[in-house]
Structure 1
Amino acid sequence: MSGIELRHLATMAAVVEEGSFGRAAQRLGYTQSSVSQQIAALEKAVGGAVFDRPGGPRPVRITPLGTVVLTHGRDLLERAEAMTIALDRFRAGGGRIDIGTFQSLSTVILPPVVRALRAEFPDCDIRLFEEETETPRVDRVDLMFFDRRVDGDDVERLKLLDDPYLLVAPRGDFPAGPVRLDRLHGRPMVAWPPACDQPGVTGALARAGVRPEIVFRAAANEAVLSMVRAGIGSAIPPRLVLQGAGVATDAALTVHEPRPAFPPREIHLLWPAGRTRSPLAARAIEIAVAVAATYQPRDEKRALPSIS
């Protein structure tokens, strides 16, 4: 109903609870005349008296019309208070954030990002969605980690890091140190399905004139590494895959730098273009950048940190 304001309803509730206009004014920090004016404005809006005013020291009494107004008014006041709390939590970062991710990032980069967000915003609602896809549906999430550069008017992006490819092999297949790509020609290899970043690996091998014998393909990182542990062939995964699988402490495997090196996989953070980011999403981006910086070697000319 036009003319009814939340402050009018709050004043009415205070008068009922305190029993007089004067005590309601003291509680609300108003003058008594201001309380009278607000109640008068409310009565004009609803078309009748909401209080009987006996005068003197006797308390005011709510009318039947006033009871109807207050019953529904309390509901509005509660909903307004809930909205105020929700807005305060949103501004403080205590809202919901949907994050898209993929296998290897979920095990290395994403966990410290989630821990930091939960430490700063204990009430935040974090939803994670893992999907291996050629075309990221950025419109369905607030943020998405993706393993390739994505261009377009509908997406904004930030490159987080380069993720170099390494050769992982059963222990004893190759001596310690870098391995020339031509040594892989005709040798058994375990690989991922021909999607996502896998064509880049296949193309780099082909340009070097190297054609390994693919003996097994699997989408799950652990399945690929398990077959390498079983000794049926080597594999060429990004470093994040090896780090997430704890290969550094695996006595059955050795890790080598391929020579020449493959172009690294690029890890980007994407979000919908033109969408106003919540404080929680904005902070998640900052944390992701900081976490990625701890993974990325500062000096690109130095050797990659040892994994094996």
Structure 2
Amino acid sequence: MELRHLVTFKTIVEKGTFKKAADQLGYAQSSVTNHIKELEGELNQPLFDRLGKQVTLTTFGKQFFPYAIKIMDLYKEIIEKANRNDVPTGSLTIGASEALTSCRLPQILLEYKQMYPEVNLSIISIDNKNVTAELQQGNIDLALVLKKNNWETKDLQVEKIKQEQMVLITPLKDKQKCISNTVLYIERTCAYKSIFDDYIKDHYIEVEGSVDFGSIEPIKQCVMNGLGISMLPYFTVKKELENEQFNGKVVKDEQYGVSSFVTYHKDKWVSPAMESMISLIHTCSKEWD
């Protein structure tokens, strides 16, 4: 089975006719026809139904198509591995939760770009519940997320980076108002939303309604102004606590904790760019509060 035959097969599927595929590939139409005949002969199955000038995949052709793509991808991967000099190049797309994008990633990205300027980086903010789907669909190469301490999933390679300290933040005494026990959440799908709910229930905290936010910053502003309480990772409120802009109670019980994880699809080829990013994340995490 020759790679060029698979390329021809894929191009016919994409273009819809033998002629358009021949034009795209720079072959004579007879060469394209011969490629498919040889491939069909080797497989002992027809790949296309010829309906005039148009062609459609046979049932077997539809089954064979994803395997052809996989073979071509593997060939490309082998060539890249054989030719690479282990210096990270190319592109790398990282998905990250809002808190980590704001507070953890900037320093990592700065150091990475200084070390590997040839890598084109893309950062995508992802919803916590969509991490697996984003990786499975190939929209991102790896993800940096906050999840419960024991998080794992069968489809992903998961590496725990750091167990994070959670803090219950409340308004300063002179800012407390009649609605100071309004619960302030960051998105319902966030890992620590359910943790906060458990904490409230277990500690018999009386609440007076709730408000959901799409990011952490407005939550901090609301607590500063006496409009509610929240539970957030320490690294997101460190500056405000040091400046005494609101009160903070460290939550020491690990059952209310979250961790930072780096994760990627278990079948994903780890490129030099990706491998070096994962290594740098682990290195930088040693300096995290």
- Partner SS, residue 283 of structure 1: helix
Q: CA deviation at 1:126?
A: 0.4
Indicate how the Cα distance of structure 1 residues 252 and 240 shifts in structure 2: closer, same or farther if over 3 A, else same. closer
Paired residue type of 1:138: L
Q: CA deviation at 1:195?
A: 2.2
Number of residue-to-residue matches in the alignment: 200
Answer yes or no: is the 8 Å Cα contact 1:144–1:269 preserved in 2. Answer: yes
**Identity within the alignment, %:** 12
Counterpart in the other structure of 1:194 = 188
Indicate how the Cα distance of structure 1 residues 248 and 259 shifts in structure 2: closer, same or farther if over 3 A, else same. closer
Q: Higher helix fraction: Structure 1 or Structure 2?
A: 2
Hey, what's the Cα distance between the residues in 2 that align with 1:258 and 1:124?
39
Q: CA deviation at 1:280?
A: 1.1
Answer yes or no: is the 8 Å Cα contact 2:165–2:252 preserved in 1. Answer: no
- Partner SS, residue 226 of structure 1: helix
Q: CA deviation at 1:102?
A: 1.0
- Partner SS, residue 184 of structure 2: strand
- Partner SS, residue 223 of structure 2: helix
Q: CA deviation at 1:93?
A: 0.5
Answer yes or no: is the 8 Å Cα contact 1:113–1:287 preserved in 2. Answer: yes
2:101 aligned with 1:106 = yes
Counterpart in the other structure of 2:273 = 280
Q: Higher strand fraction: Structure 1 or Structure 2?
A: 2
2:201 aligned with 1:206 = yes
Answer yes or no: is the 8 Å Cα contact 2:187–2:215 preserved in 1. Answer: no
Q: Which protein is bigger by CA-based radius of gyration? A: 1
Hey, what's the Cα distance between the residues in 1 that align with 2:242 and 2:221?
14
Counterpart in the other structure of 1:138 = 135
Indicate how the Cα distance of structure 1 residues 215 and 117 shifts in structure 2: closer, same or farther if over 3 A, else same. same
Write out aligned runs for 1:144-163 (5 A): 144-148=143-147, 150-163=151-164
Counterpart in the other structure of 1:117 = 112
Hey, what's the Cα distance between the residues in 1 that align with 2:202 and 2:170?
22
Q: How large is the RMSD of aligned CA atoms in angstroms?
A: 2.9
Hey, what's the Cα distance between the residues in 2 that align with 1:153 and 1:257?
32
Superposition TM-score, scaled by structure 1 size: 0.58
Answer yes or no: is the 8 Å Cα contact 1:109–1:291 preserved in 2. Answer: no
- Partner SS, residue 95 of structure 2: strand
- Partner SS, residue 153 of structure 2: coil
Q: CA deviation at 1:150?
A: 4.6
Hey, what's the Cα distance between the residues in 2 that align with 1:173 and 1:236?
20
Hey, what's the Cα distance between the residues in 1 that align with 2:88 and 2:185?
41
2:167 aligned with 1:170 = no
Hey, what's the Cα distance between the residues in 2 that align with 1:105 and 1:123?
24
Answer yes or no: is the 8 Å Cα contact 1:164–1:262 preserved in 2. Answer: no
Unaligned runs of 5+ in 2: 1-78
Counterpart in the other structure of 2:222 = 227
Unaligned runs of 5+ in 1: 1-82, 175-185, 297-308
Q: CA deviation at 1:274?
A: 2.2
Paired residue type of 1:100: G
Indicate how the Cα distance of structure 1 residues 209 and 252 shifts in structure 2: closer, same or farther if over 3 A, else same. closer
Q: CA deviation at 1:169?
A: 2.1
Indicate how the Cα distance of structure 1 residues 285 and 258 shifts in structure 2: closer, same or farther if over 3 A, else same. closer
Write out aligned runs for 1:254-269 (5 A): 254-258=247-251, 263-269=256-262
Q: CA deviation at 1:284?
A: 0.6
Which shows bigger deviation, 217-226 or 204-213?
204-213
Indicate how the Cα distance of structure 1 residues 171 and 209 shifts in structure 2: closer, same or farther if over 3 A, else same. closer
Superposed CA deviations along residues 45-82 of structure 1, whole A, max 9, x for unmatched, are xxxxxxxxxxxxxxxxxxxxxxxxxxxxxxxxxxxxxx
Paired residue type of 2:256: P
Q: CA deviation at 1:103?
A: 1.1
Q: CA deviation at 1:262?
A: 5.6
Out of 244, 247, 252, which is 2:240 matched to?
A: 247
